[in-house]
Amino acid sequence: MSEKFSALTQLTEDEMMFKDMVYKFAEEQVKPHSAEMDRDGNFRPELIKQFFDLGLMGIEIPEQYGGTGSSFFMSILAIEALAMIDASAAIYVDVQNTLVNNALLRWADDSLKKKYFPQLASQKLGAYALSEAGSGSDAFALKARAEEKADHYILNGQKMWITNGGEAELFIVFANARPEAGYKGITAFLIEKGFPGFSVGKKEDKLGIRASSTCELILDNCVVPKENVIGEVGKGYKVAIETLNEGRIGIGAQMLGISNAALNYAMQYSKERQQFGKNLAEFQAIQFQIADMATQLEAARLLVYNAARLKDARQDFLKEAAMAKIFSSRAAEKITSQVLEIYGGYGYTKEYPVEKLYRDAKIGQIYEGTSNMQLQTIAKYLLFK
Q: For residue 36, what are the contacts with CB-CB under 8 A and spacing of at least 6?
A: none
Catalytic residue status for 27:
no
pLDDT for 2 equals 46
pLDDT for 54 equals 98
Q: Which of 269, 294, 296, 297 is nearest to 283 (CA)?
A: 269
Angle made by CA atoms 129, 194, 44, in degrees to the nearest 5: 70
Per-residue confidence in pLDDT tens, the chain, 385 aa:
545 555 567 899 999 999 999 999 999 999 999 999 999 999 999 999 999 999 999 999 999 999 999 999 999 999 999 999 999 999 999 999 999 999 999 999 999 999 999 999 999 999 999 999 999 888 889 999 999 999 999 999 999 999 999 999 999 999 999 999 999 999 999 999 999 999 999 999 999 999 999 999 999 999 999 999 999 999 999 999 999 999 999 999 999 999 999 999 999 999 999 999 999 999 999 999 999 999 999 999 999 999 999 999 999 999 999 999 999 999 999 999 999 999 999 999 999 999 999 999 999 999 999 999 999 999 999 999 8
pLDDT for 137 equals 87
Environment class of 204 (CB within 10 Å of its CB; exposed 0-12, middle 13-18, buried 19+): middle
Query: How far apart are the C-alpha atoms of 266 and 170, rounded to whole Å?
Result: 40
**Whether this model's pTM surpasses 0.85:** yes
Residues in the chain: 385
pLDDT for 92 equals 98
DSSP for 42-81, please give it.
Answer: ---HHHHHHHHHTTTT-SSS-GGGTS----HHHHHHHHHH
Secondary structure (3-state) at 231? coil
Q: Which of 110, 112, 373 is nearest to 241 (CA)?
A: 373
Catalytic residue among 60, 246, 355, 368: 368
pLDDT for 5 equals 52
Locate the domains of the chain by residue range: 7-125, 127-234, 238-384
CATH topology of domain 238-384: Butyryl-CoA Dehydrogenase, subunit A; domain 3 (1.20.140)
Query: How far apart are the C-alpha atoms of 142 and 36, rounded to whole Å?
Result: 36
pLDDT for 140 equals 84
What is the DSSP-derived secondary structure letter of residue 327?
H
For 174, the enclosing helix (H) or strand (E) is strand 170-176
| Whether the Cβ atoms of residue 251 and residue 323 lie closer than 8 Å to each other | no
CATH number listed for the domain at residues 127-234: 2.40.110.10
Query: How far apart are the C-alpha atoms of 154 and 381, rounded to whole Å?
Result: 37
φ/ψ (deg, to 5) at 277: 85, 10
Q: For residue 287, what are the contacts with CB-CB under 8 A and spacing of at least 6?
A: 281
Cβ neighbours, 10 Å, residue 120: 25
Environment class of 156 (CB within 10 Å of its CB; exposed 0-12, middle 13-18, buried 19+): middle
| Whether the Cβ atoms of residue 250 and residue 75 lie closer than 8 Å to each other | yes
Q: Which of 341, 308, 316, 325 is nearest to 373 (CA)?
A: 325
| Whether the Cβ atoms of residue 190 and residue 207 lie closer than 8 Å to each other | no
CA dihedral 21, 24, 25, 27 (to 10 degrees): 160
Kindly report the CATH class assigned to 7-125. Answer: mainly alpha
In angstroms, the first-to-last Cα distance of the chain is 41
Query: How far apart are the C-alpha atoms of 201 and 22, rounded to whole Å?
Result: 32
Four-residue CA torsion sign, 226, 232, 238, 244: negative
